[in-house]
A and B are shown apart, each in its own frame.
Chain A
Amino acid sequence: MLSVENITVCYGQMKALREVSLEVSTGQMVALIGANGSGKSTLINAISGLVPIAGGEITWEGQTLKGLTPDNICREGIIQVPEGRKLFPAMTVEENLIMGAYHPNVRKQAQESLQKVFSTFPRIADRRRQFAGSLSGGEQQMVALGRALMAKPRLLMLDEPSLGLSPKAAAEIFDIIRGLNKEGMTILLVSQEVMQTLAITTYGYVLENGVLALKDSCDRLLEDPKVKTSYLGL
């Protein structure tokens, strides 16, 4: 479905990614792990079209994404929940969600999707008229997820959805993500919670300093000595 082939991304002189490749197929949930600064966000921002790629190619259902701007990529159904949530703080919860259905393909179904999101996240339904900036971290993450669901993603990319959350709130978010995948959603999950992430995904990629260090099924990654020492602290 999505295939990233040997992409290189530079910020000025610095190469943040070097010839990285990755595949996600329909219905799969793939993990992308790596230490701070290893280039995980850069990779999904490159897929979203936020950062230009200096080499290599990203293809989506056989078509190249080259030259497409983020709004066009969003229209393709490739939807990102950005790191740090990036909600619209002075807009209400409901307005944030409605903005998720901004692109014309899904706008007509906005009200329907809204009801669905509210039934998935009853907690934020109660706060629909509150400013998003005034919610707790866990609630904000739910709004961020809800906003993404409003866009009817065909590929959902989550960048550290549990960042800054309490263990309880993080577990709740992971449950929701697993549920979405069970219902058939294709997911690319970036996370520092290596144990929890590898437990719910089927295949994983490990980035190290902008280079792909490992890729394997999650069962085998969990057994890998390098993963054990570097990411699981075992």
Chain B
Amino acid sequence: MDAVLIIQSLISGIMMGMVYALLGVGFSLTWGVMHVINISHGAFGLLGAYMAYSLLQYFGVDPIVSAAVSVPLLFLVACGIYQLLIRPITRAQNVVMASMILTFGLAIILENVMAIIWKADPRVLTPTYSSGALILGPFYFQYPHVVGFGLSLAGITAIYLFLKKTYTGMAVRAAWQQPEAARLYGVNLYWISMITFALAVSTAGAGGICLALLNSFEPHSHNLWLINLFLVVIVGGVGNVIGTALAGLIIGVITGLSMAFLPFLWVNLVTFGLLMIFLIFRPHGIFKQEGI
């Protein structure tokens, strides 16, 4: 095998993995903190991607610039969805199950709305720099991939700093680890849940934009994204941000390598096979539960 090709696909894998990591962190947080498994997480990512697509297509706004608008917008939308749909079901007996059913419905609605607005054809984000590439010696990286990677790295760093350095971020972790004690020390769980949910949805939007810089997408793409999210979160450990980020990288590398060396149809087989193996042997992930 060709060493250049191996390293090339390894680095491409890391780039893609970072995007999965960004998408996965939010998915993991709502799961860990609120016991809400948000099946519509990928669909919100896709919504971010479509918003970037339209803003680029009709107004010529670069995806990075439009993200500065669409990500905060998604945050607000998510606050509304939390109040309207999620908050009522957190009183259910079995929040996990209720949340899965509810957000599954939400994902289908979003998918159909996107199919109506943007049609079922595959789309690609083609910013001005899309034909350019970063050439480093024998290696070759398309600019959109580099930008997607950079944006997701920035997103993950921002989430990490939020959770680690701000009072609200610490309250999110506290509410996940020990909700009763968090309440006793002044944390309003509803408020924190809303922030968590909105943060997750808006970072999903950012992740969706990054993913759209790497691959083409269509209204049902979120289903495939979702399976990858499950894989990332299960490998990384629910609620473990650093674990999730690392798991994203690992899965990116595995996907990258199998894309380079296996027939295309095999790629999903490898990732889903991996998901099964993990569920059987390491249902709590490969990292210790401690972390952030």
By a beta-carbon cutoff of 8 Å, the part of chain A in contact with chain B is 48, 50, 69-71, 74-75, 79-80, 82, 86-91, 95, 98-100, 102-103, 107, 131, 133, 147, 151
Contact = CB atoms under 8 A, between A and B. Distances in A.
Given A70-B184, A103-B185, 12 more contacts: A50-B183, A74-B186, A82-B184, A86-B184, A90-B289, A90-B290, A90-B291, A91-B173, A95-B170, A99-B170, A100-B185, A131-B290
A74 B184 contact: yes
A89 B177 contact: yes
Contacts of A90: 173, 177, 289-292
B171 interface: yes
A107 B184 contact: no
B177 to A, nearest CB: 5
30 contacts: A50-B183, A50-B184, A69-B183, A70-B184, A71-B183, A71-B187, A71-B188, A74-B186, A75-B186, A79-B184, A82-B181, A86-B184, A87-B178, A87-B181, A88-B174, A88-B182, A89-B290, A90-B173, A90-B177, A91-B170, A91-B173, A95-B170, A98-B170, A99-B174, A99-B182, A99-B185, A103-B186, A131-B290, A147-B185, A151-B185
Contacts of A70: 183-184
B184 to A, nearest CB: 5
Contact of B177 (A69, A88, A100): A88
Contacts of B289: 90
Nearest to A157: B184
A99 B178 CA distance: 12
Nearest to A96: B174
B170 A86 contact: no
Interface string B236-277: 000000000000000000000000000000000000000000
A129 to B, nearest CB: 13
A69 B181 contact: no
B180 A82 contact: yes
Interface in B182-217: 182-188
A87 B292 CA distance: 15
Nearest to A131: B290
Mostly helix, strand, loop or mixed at chain A's interface?
mixed
A75 B185 CA distance: 8
A48 B181 CA distance: 11
Contacts, number: 70
A189 to B, nearest CB: 17
B162 to A, nearest CB: 14
Contacts of A75: 186
Contacts of B184: 48, 50, 70, 74, 79-80, 82, 86
Contact of B185 (A89, A95, A102): A102
Interface string B20-37: 000000000000000000
B167 interface: yes
A91 B186 contact: no
Interface string B274-292: 0000000000000001111
A112 B292 CA distance: 25
A112 B167 CA distance: 16
Given A50-B180, A82-B180, A107-B167, A88 B173 contact: yes
B290 A133 contact: yes
A103 B185 CA distance: 7
A102 B171 contact: yes
Given A90-B291, A131-B290, A133-B290, A71 B170 contact: no
Contacts of A79: 184-185
A70 B175 CA distance: 13
B178 A88 contact: yes
Contacts of A131: 290
Contacts of A91: 170, 173-174, 177
B31 to A, nearest CB: 16
Interface string B161-176: 0000001001101100
Contacts of B292: 90
Contacts of A48: 184
Interface string B131-171: 00000000000000000000000000000000000010011
B187 A102 contact: yes
Contacts of A82: 180-181, 184
A86 B174 CA distance: 11
Contacts of B182: 88, 99
A100 B170 CA distance: 11
A86 B185 CA distance: 11
A82 B183 CA distance: 11
